[in-house]
Chain A
């Protein structure tokens, strides 16, 4: 099939980008990531369970994130926590820069609605 399954391919697939973005500030478990993505995208991106965990699985395999020990406050032993790796941070920065340039171009062409 044409579409690559490598999560490191740029442009990043939306779930991959959003997951990296969610993990920038602190380590999170899956449900936490989903909530974070929900908030950050103002509800526009809702990661389905399959998409979320498939992405997490592939990203961990590719070394963009890793599993870490749960914080002491966590009571549910089923929850696995994830942290972003330096490689993940690098990729996030790269993609964000790319998107930034894209936004700059759009702004230069007056394609963006300026907020009142």
Chain B
């Protein structure tokens, strides 16, 4: 050995001495160098010197760590070191950009999905209402005809307001009207509201004023209050908005005030654009005004503020007395009709709908939490593997004097930093998702603009979630790093060690968790997809592929009474003149579209519960409607020239379900009905037609009846045509014909019936797609987890496998043996997943159509999918192991 080489060894050793505490180095460093150099001199050949160096390194790691631990002067845990650790973690993450980007993307999806769902669920279900003293506010409901709490008749709300139990009673009802803005008419959400509304909520207009009692009387002036969000968004927070005029449904209304900040409407998170006074109900049409005097129509929701000292129970007693009195005074409307008082904390949106909303919210939350859990399990696994590959580094850090706690903290800081990065990107995703949310057609779940945003509550949730996430996936690797025996780690590091049995078990457990969670999500997707498929292929009772429609806007036409029929005839003539159109009709509603029902008494039929009347959906149609839609006539006749206006009787058609329910096997023709409260039986059944979906696809068959437009003057909205060709191709010609009408009838929507049905399935489709996306992600993660575990095991056993193959083991045998290692883990995960899925599936049974919650096809499909993914994930690394050259494998070990 030359002198220069010896100098190299000595310099290296002196550098190594830095791992010792200063006092020890000062006391013994020189002699240790002497001893080391003596040994170097004796070591003959590079192999011996390499072994010497290895022993010295291990020795240094062990002893320096022991000395540092004992030494009160070494290694702190204060703020300075925290910043230092943060910088170190950031630098470290920057150095492995692929890992960091992957982890951040994973976390962004997981955390972003959770923040998005929390934002929706919070605003819909959790957030306290922005009212003063909400404990004094109650919701009051008149019973529906089914005997359940429902909306109230406006006259009844006035009776409630007269009660001493309440300091104030407000009645509200929602509507959608066309706002004639500069860009043409657009739909806006309004609420007709009594002047007492602000008193009930304990708030006041932030500009101008709220309605006064004089504006609770129809005809006393058209006034509106703009909501704060709409004032900001559509009026640019214009301070001079008060006094301006808005045209709603063609009527000029004066804006008298701006609503309080933070109040978005009665039905959060639906955003109300304008509040209209009772005096402005004419904006909704003449019937909206007539309705104010009708005890048969239940349109209003009631919020009330309890009088001082009155409890909810006392208010309930007062309402029981009122209900009894109304039952005596108006037996035809209110006999047996109760009135229920709910504390505002017990109602979110509506007592009848809250259950479904909470179930939906819980399902959504469970899905996104599962995805996050999966992401955490996967990251924990990755970090464990990375932690092992870094155990050498960590051991040296320990040796350099970092207390064990600090090494663990370094891991945690790194995972928290990752989590914060992921959460930050997740918040961006959330903002994007929330912006996209209102443009998604949500059917009857959300019927208007949503007021959703990232506020303080969401921010707190997000930060908390990031912290929990970071700890969740960082804790296991951190604890393992702290437990790692330094010398063991240094030895393992050289051999590419497995990190011991504990780490292997932990990784297996994480894989099992991933398999279980993925199975639940895959199964959920299967169930939702099968349910959606059943909905898409169900027979709605009409020729869905043959029909196009326009929605007519009559508000500018000025047509009423007899003139409506003239215009309808003109529309039908023009439509049927279009080449390709075989039949045309006009109808007040499309199938699978909830609107229009009336409280009806049926001769000879007593409903099982509640009052004498039933709430029946209806449509008014022109003669050709049933031929146009392909709805069969089952008995009797369709509408014809015999059905003339002005006579004493009104002809109606009922659907098969109505005929069966009301009259059983008896002949329904000639049976009679009347509107609730009517003196005589004016409506006579002349025919029975086939069932169609009334308010949504997949609902249980519902009774329904039809009026003829010959005997009803309200102009129906939907122009429908039948063709043998492509219905979409007719829409242009249909619009042109509408424009040529002798009166102005606008068109504010158009499409095909198939498209309309598709839109009504937007919610289940969205649910199935979202679930599908989440399960695909889950499968990918579970697959990666299995892949990692098998790869690791293969790498660890390279030598052993090499020996076995050298001894003549078949490659296929090697593959099987390696794959077998994860079989137990996968099977355990699948079993746990099946148990969870069976439990979870029963919870979502209500969301499914035409498929059982324990559907064997969906269950088998999910298991097969999981097994397939697991097999591929295990097979790829196993095959790599089997392909290895035995000699190479042995040499590598």
**Which positions in A face B, CB cutoff 8 Å?**
1, 5, 29-31, 34, 46, 48-54, 56-57, 76, 78-80
Contact = CB atoms under 8 A, between A and B. Distances in A.
Contacts of A56: 28
A11 B305 CA distance: 82
Interface in B1-54: 13, 20, 24, 27-28, 30-36, 38
B62 A49 contact: no
A16 B55 CA distance: 19
Contacts of B28: 30, 53, 56-57
A50 B13 CA distance: 11
B491 interface: no
Interface in B66-100: 66-67, 69-70
Nearest to A80: B31
A76 B34 CA distance: 10
Please provide the 8 A-B residue pairs with the shortest distance between their CB atoms, ordered closest to farther. Answer: A48-B59, A50-B63, A53-B28, A49-B32, A54-B63, A50-B59, A78-B30, A30-B31
B30 A52 contact: no
Contacts of B654: none
Contacts of B634: none
B404 to A, nearest CB: 9
B745 to A, nearest CB: 88
Given A1-B69, A49-B32, 13 more contacts: A5-B70, A30-B28, A34-B38, A48-B55, A49-B33, A50-B32, A50-B60, A54-B63, A57-B24, A57-B28, A76-B34, A79-B31, A80-B31
Nearest to B33: A49
Max chain B Cβ within 10 angstroms of own Cβ: one of A5, A31, A53, A79: A53
A111 to B, nearest CB: 30
Contacts of A80: 31
Nearest to B29: A53
A80 B32 CA distance: 11
Contact of A48 (B30, B33, B34, B60): B60
Contact of B62 (A31, A51, A53): A51
A112 to B, nearest CB: 30
Given A53-B24, A57-B27, A79 B60 contact: no
Contact of A78 (B31, B56, B64): B31
A49 B24 CA distance: 12
B70 A53 contact: no
A53 B56 contact: no
B34 A78 contact: yes
Contacts of B66: 5, 54
Contacts of A46: 55
A76 B28 CA distance: 14
A49 B59 contact: yes
Contacts of A49: 13, 32-33, 35-36, 56, 59-60
A53 B23 CA distance: 12
Contacts of B34: 30-31, 76, 78-79
B106 to A, nearest CB: 36
Given A53-B32, A54-B67, A78-B34, A48 B27 contact: no
B705 to A, nearest CB: 85
A50 B20 contact: yes
Contacts of B32: 30, 49-50, 52-53
B126 to A, nearest CB: 48
Max chain A Cβ within 10 angstroms of own Cβ: one of B35, B36, B64, B70: B35
Given A5-B66, A51-B59, A51-B62, A31 B27 contact: no
Contacts of A50: 20, 32, 56, 59-60, 62-64
B731 to A, nearest CB: 81
B59 A53 contact: no
Nearest to A53: B28
Contacts of A29: 31
22 contacts: A5-B66, A29-B31, A31-B31, A46-B55, A48-B55, A48-B56, A49-B13, A49-B56, A50-B20, A50-B59, A50-B62, A50-B63, A50-B64, A52-B32, A53-B24, A53-B27, A54-B24, A54-B63, A54-B67, A57-B24, A57-B27, A80-B31
A80 B63 CA distance: 20
Contacts of A30: 28, 31-32, 34-35
B12 to A, nearest CB: 13
B424 to A, nearest CB: 39
A65 to B, nearest CB: 14
A79 B33 CA distance: 11
A34 B37 CA distance: 13
B418 to A, nearest CB: 30
Nearest to B59: A48
Contact of A31 (B24, B35, B67): B35
B35 A52 contact: yes
Nearest to A31: B35
B588 to A, nearest CB: 83
Contacts of A53: 24, 27-28, 31-32
A54 B55 CA distance: 16
A86 B759 CA distance: 96
A49 B59 CA distance: 7
B71 to A, nearest CB: 11
Nearest to B60: A50
Contacts of B30: 78
Contacts of B31: 29-31, 53, 78-80
Max chain B Cβ within 10 angstroms of own Cβ: one of A5, A34, A49, A57: A49
B37 to A, nearest CB: 10
A13 B67 CA distance: 16
A52 B33 CA distance: 12
A73 B28 CA distance: 21
A48 B70 contact: no
A53 B34 CA distance: 12
A56 B33 CA distance: 15
Nearest to A1: B69
B669 to A, nearest CB: 95
Interface in B581-602: none
B32 to A, nearest CB: 4
A62 B430 CA distance: 64
A105 B711 CA distance: 117
Nearest to B38: A31
B17 to A, nearest CB: 9
Contacts of A78: 30-31, 34
Contacts of A31: 31, 34-35, 38
A4 B514 CA distance: 42
Nearest to B13: A49
Nearest to B404: A1
B804 to A, nearest CB: 34
